[in-house]
Each structure stands twice: as C-alpha cells, then as structure tokens.
Amino acid sequence: MTTLEKIAKLKKTKNAVILAHYYTPADVQAVADYVGDSFYLSKVAVSLEADTIVFCGVSFMGESAKLLNPHKTVLMPDLEADCPMAHMATPEDILRVRAEYEDVAVVCYINSDTELKSLSDVCVTSANAVKVVKALPNKNIYFIPDKNLAHYVAEKIPEKNFIFNPGFCPIHEHMSADEIKSAKLSHPNALVLAHPECSKEILNMADYIGSTSGILNFAKDSEVGEFIICTEQGVEYELKRQNPVGKRFYFPKTAPVCPGMKRVTLEKVLRVLETGENQVTLPEGLTESAVEPLDKMLKLAK
C-alpha cells in the first residue's frame, strides 16, 4: 500500500479528519479533508463529527482546535512545529496595560499560545480582525502579539486608541521591499497582494491587503492575470489549483518560507494516524479562560 492509501484507510478506521493550513507542503494540503486559513480552520474545527482531528499546521493551531474540541483527540504530525510570533507577548505586559487603562480590551491574534489567549478578552484572525475589533464597545485596544496586523487594523478603525506590542512574524516582517520593487519592474502589470503581517513598507506597495484566503479570493475574482504574492510560499499550491490556466503568480526572490509549517510531512501524518502519538494537551487550568476569547471571536465574526 502507498502512503496515501494507508492514510485513507486509517482515516476511515479511526474516524479521523485531516485539517491543513495553506502554508503546509503541497502534498499535505492535497491529502487534507479541509484546507484553509486560520479563521476557516477554526470554524471547521467546531463543526466536525470525527473522533480524531489531525491538525497540519503550527502549535497554536492545534491548541486552538483542542480548546474548541476538548473531548476530541487532536494529533499534530510534528509537535515542534511552532510559530515564533505566538510567544511574542508576555503575561506581565498584559497585566501592566490592564492596570494602566481602565477600559481596555486585550485583543489576541489567534497566532498566540494558550497562556496569552487565557489572559485576553477576544481572539481575532487576519480575516476577521477589523470586524471583531469594530464590534467591541471598548475605546482602548491592546493588540497582541503582531505589531503589523495591529497597525493595519488601527488605520481602519481611527476612532479607537490602539496600544501596540512589538511582536512580528519573521517571514512576513523580513520580506524585502526591494525584491517586491524589482518584481514590479519585471512584471509592471502585476498587482501586489499582501498579508497584513507584512511590514508597512510592503503594505504601502500593495494593491490588496488581506488574509491568506482573502488573497486567494482576490486573485480568483480579479480580471488581472498577474500577481506578486507577499505571503508564505505554500499558498502557491492553492493559487494554482484555483487558477489552473492563464493567471501567473510571482513570489519575492527570497522565498518566504515558514519553517514551522514545513515540518509537517505526509510521513508524519501517517505516523500519528498509525500510532496515536503527538496528542495536543493544554496547560492545566487555562482551558476555560482560553476558550472564551475564541468563542467570542466566532460569535462576533459571524
């Protein structure tokens, strides 16, 4: 039996589903039952009948799926697959800001570990952050951990007072503006589509800014045929799948690759299905307080 046949058989016998983020390797996306951005995957996670979820992504994603499904088994192909930004805020900073501002909402990008979520009021993803923050009654917003997404949202909601935190995604933050400029010179008709985790310099060059699925939808619906894509390279698989002929996609010369997402492989998917290893467990005592901001996000973003 091939790896794919073994995975298909085990999915049936274990009543398991495979969820994968667009940044995982193409062969992992191809085997998944659901592929999407963080918002889509968190919505899918609450609607599943399966006993086991195999989450192909980084640890905050597996932890969010477990928080939303405490009675299901959530397996991660690689427990070391991590997002560095998810740890770029501190409980001490949250307490300090709460003490300083009476009417503050702590808004936590879903790319955060469970402890940070447990200390926050509401979660957001890049797909729903503007909508969710707008719906909050609070004037003061402490947005953790991503400074770039925070500034992007703050510009859209000038009536609120944002307190920023210095976190960032190394892959999007370090994308080179010069490389985008030279891609633009080589492909003058291409539109620049950027994820809001990119630096201000890149966002200023963008024709469209949005989450991973926002970028995919924009490219699919656009009458333009060429795009410079400012997000993680893994999304190329879905861009090509959705636009099999005609459209062209260019990435920065230095490929934007998330090492955490690339730790997930088909062999590891098969292994966790075979062995039941790599179960996601949550830090003791934080489950209730960490699921509340996720639930609130799902309600406000509806």
Task: Give contact residues for ligand SF4 (rule: CB under 6 A).
Answer: 23, 58, 83-85, 111, 169, 171, 197, 232, 258, 260-261
The entry of ligand SF4, ligand 13P, none near residue 38 (CB within 5 to 8 angstroms by kind) is: ligand 13P
The entry of ligand SF4, ligand 13P, none near residue 37 (CB within 5 to 8 angstroms by kind) is: ligand 13P
The entry of ligand 13P, ligand SF4, none near residue 260 (CB within 5 to 8 angstroms by kind) is: ligand SF4
CA distance 131 to 129: 6
The entry of ligand 13P, ligand SF4, none near residue 73 (CB within 5 to 8 angstroms by kind) is: none
Please, which of residues 214-273 interact with ligand 13P by CB under 6 A? none
Q: What distances in angstroms separate CA 73 from CA 78, 110, 142, one per listed residue?
A: 15, 21, 33
CA distance 229 to 251: 5
The entry of ligand 13P, ligand SF4, none near residue 68 (CB within 5 to 8 angstroms by kind) is: none
Please, which of residues 13-72 interact with ligand 13P by CB under 6 A? 37-38
Residue with tokens 């427990």: 79
Residue 73 or 112: which CB sits closer to ligand SF4?
A: 112
Decide if residue 199 touches ligand 13P (CB under 6 A): no
Neighbours of 186 (CB within 10 A): 9
Q: What letter would DSSP give residue 68?
A: H
Decide if residue 128 touches ligand 13P (CB under 6 A): no
Residue with tokens 């959530």: 74
Residue 5: CB minimum distance to ligand 13P, A: 30
Q: Which of 141, 171, 178, 134 is nearest to 156 (CA)?
A: 134
Decide if residue 111 touches ligand 13P (CB under 6 A): yes
Q: 109 has which bridge partners? A: 124
Among 24, 52, 73, 125, binds ligand 13P (CB under 6 A): 125
Q: In what order do the strands lie in the sheet with 34-36?
A: 34-36, 16-21, 52-56, 73-75
Q: Is the dihedral of CA 290, 293, 295, 301 positive or negative?
A: negative
HSE-CB for 53 with a 13 A CA cutoff: 29
Q: What distances in angstroms separate CA 20 from CA 24, 92, 246, 251, one per listed residue?
A: 7, 33, 26, 21
Residue 248: CB minimum distance to ligand 13P, A: 22
Residue with tokens 């805020």: 89
Residue 26 or 95: which CB sits closer to ligand SF4?
A: 26
The entry of ligand SF4, ligand 13P, none near residue 25 (CB within 5 to 8 angstroms by kind) is: none
Among 169, 183, 264, 269, binds ligand 13P (CB under 6 A): 169
Q: Can you give the binding site for ligand 13P, defined by CB under 6 A?
A: 37-38, 111, 125-127, 169, 195, 197, 211-212
